[in-house]
A and B are shown apart, each in its own frame.
Chain A
């Protein structure tokens, strides 16, 4: 093969004569390394070595380093080397290669067990830090709210209205669509199974109570966490990466005042509105399904709904909504401000933000459901 790197060895008068040739370049580094290792392995005890580099066509850093590796191996075995015939343009490079890698490079290696224990430990520490950060964020928000109450003019109303537009108004179509479908699916499943024992009418009770108390607010919160919580984290995170947050601080602004509070308040305002709209859409979807699939007239559906659900069911759903908004906002803000320099951390924190807020939303919903059941509402 043309340009193949060569390293021929011969014994001349008690010395080992190596004759190098071909391309000593990056493309051939793999072959060249094997050649050199073979020479080193074949001659463990070398007295004197002459290396003739005259036939080398090209040499780059890879070739220079591999030559240097050979020289060091010979020197380590107690041999003595003469390099001849090195073309003028390559001398500086070979000399430079002689100066590098003084210490043998070692990739850090760790024991498997220790590494896995370390991961567990780090995760536990991280959970602790996350809880601390979320609590600190709630405190910072309360302080910011206090400052805004003391100096109402300093509150960023424009920003908050803009955020309500983003996370509330613009989310209306998708929230309506999804909750409509969820209501219809609930009704369809109920009709299908309740029909077997002639209890179709109770589908209305099920849809009404489930939608108003639980499903409406949960679906909306999960959607908002995915749609707006992630956007908040990514926004705040990239502002952190580009030092915009630091710039704000140096100008005497608290980023929580300027960036986080309007966003969290926007979520607190938007979520009840979206929950209300979502619940209505779900009830409409359920009614439509009862009419089309269950043969129940709209009058019957509405009359039954009036008997089945109380104002309390409706209120419980709505009361939970602002807390869901608060959770999503706090988690999104905390994760966003926790982003460090790398793009990877931005991605990770955005994922964390969505996962954690959905988890917390469901957890809090479950706890509240038990609470309301216990107090008998």
Chain B
């Protein structure tokens, strides 16, 4: 199946993000080798792969933090490689990013962190700024008294939630999540998954989620794409993953830690 990398299921129309034949290399070593991937509008795409396989690199390449060697990245039909600075800015306005460690600005309070992109991009009154920031915090499940804390005073789960609130500050269409549930306990991770699902439904988001969390993959992801050997070796819903015959996919979804074989008895 890897022979026809361009025809694996999932490539087609209705894609918000279209990646074609993307090559990213550090030094002489190609991390992503002619990778193609589509993210469809309104779906939650889970992106898995071995540690160091280049999942985060793909995400960072799409959002423009890592330069590409070759290939095409289109967001909403706009080729990011050829887009003007203004067009790029407009696209960037439409996505929100949750970094793995949160990447909150440590010198700003939680409220200021959420307000930062709004303040920079929109002209709104101080009152609306405050109301919207608190509304966003409440939507990600945080109490209003968190608003005046500094990031250093937050727990891991709260940091992720604040980072999500900041990623959602400008009401983006696309959200990139880099291991959103890593470092959370299973209950916290489950709640975060539910939160992502709820927000995705209420706000109509398209979610690109790099994850290692098998539970997330089972419960919230509409589709899953597997990265190995620098390209997407399989993409499809969880059922397709379970049926996939690629050895890495097999051991990932059928390994000891997978719920399919391990937890079925319970």
Q: Are A62 and B171 in contact (CB under 8 A)?
A: yes
B residues 95-145 with Cβ under 8 Å of A? 106-107, 118, 121-125, 128, 130-132, 134-136, 138-139, 144
Q: Are A105 and B201 in contact (CB under 8 A)?
A: no
Interface size of B as a range? 20 to 34
CB within 8 Å for A33 and B152 given contacts A61-B136, A62-B171, A92-B201: no
- CB-CB under 8 A from B240, the residues of chain A are none
Docked complex Cα distance between A100 and B118 (Å) = 19
- CB-CB under 8 A from B139, the residues of chain A are 61, 96, 100
* Contact segment of A5-13, A23-31, A278-286, A356-364: A23-31
Q: Per-residue CB proximity of A188-201 to B under 8 Å, as 1/0?
A: 00000000000000
* Contact segment of A168-176, A178-186, A312-320, A337-345: A337-345
Q: Is the interface of B mostly helix, strand, loop or mixed?
A: helix
Q: Are A103 and B152 in contact (CB under 8 A)?
A: no
- CB-CB under 8 A from B138, the residues of chain A are 99-101
Docked complex Cα distance between A325 and B188 (Å) = 50
Asked whether any CB of chain B lies closer than 8 Å to the CB of A158, the reply is: no
Asked whether any CB of chain A lies closer than 8 Å to the CB of B51, the reply is: no
Q: Per-residue CB proximity of B163-175 to A under 8 Å, as 1/0?
A: 0000010110000
Interface size of A as a range? 20 to 34
Q: Are B128 and A341 in contact (CB under 8 A)?
A: no
- CB-CB under 8 A from B203, the residues of chain A are 60-61, 93
User: Shortest Cβ distance from B13 into chain A, in angstroms?
Assistant: 21
Q: Are A108 and B148 in contact (CB under 8 A)?
A: yes
Q: Are B132 and A33 in contact (CB under 8 A)?
A: no
Asked whether any CB of chain A lies closer than 8 Å to the CB of B151, the reply is: yes
CB within 8 Å for A342 and B131 given contacts A25-B171, A30-B124, A92-B202: no
Q: Are B124 and A96 in contact (CB under 8 A)?
A: no
Asked whether any CB of chain B lies closer than 8 Å to the CB of A69, the reply is: yes
User: Shortest Cβ distance from B29 into chain A, in angstroms?
Assistant: 28
Asked whether any CB of chain A lies closer than 8 Å to the CB of B150, the reply is: yes
Q: Are B122 and A342 in contact (CB under 8 A)?
A: no
- CB-CB under 8 A from A343, the residues of chain B are 106-107
- CB-CB under 8 A from B168, the residues of chain A are 61
Asked whether any CB of chain B lies closer than 8 Å to the CB of A89, the reply is: yes
Q: Are A105 and B130 in contact (CB under 8 A)?
A: yes
Asked whether any CB of chain B lies closer than 8 Å to the CB of A65, the reply is: yes
Q: Are B125 and A30 in contact (CB under 8 A)?
A: yes
Closest residue to A65 on the B side, CB-wise?
Answer: B135
- CB-CB under 8 A from B121, the residues of chain A are 26
CB within 8 Å for A341 and B202 given contacts A33-B125, A65-B135: no
Q: 11 interchain pairs (CB within 8 A)?
A: A25-B171, A26-B118, A29-B122, A30-B125, A61-B168, A92-B202, A93-B202, A100-B134, A341-B152, A342-B152, A343-B107
7 extra A-B contacts, CB within 8 A, seeds A30-B124, A101-B131, A105-B130: A33-B124, A33-B125, A65-B135, A100-B138, A103-B144, A340-B152, A343-B107
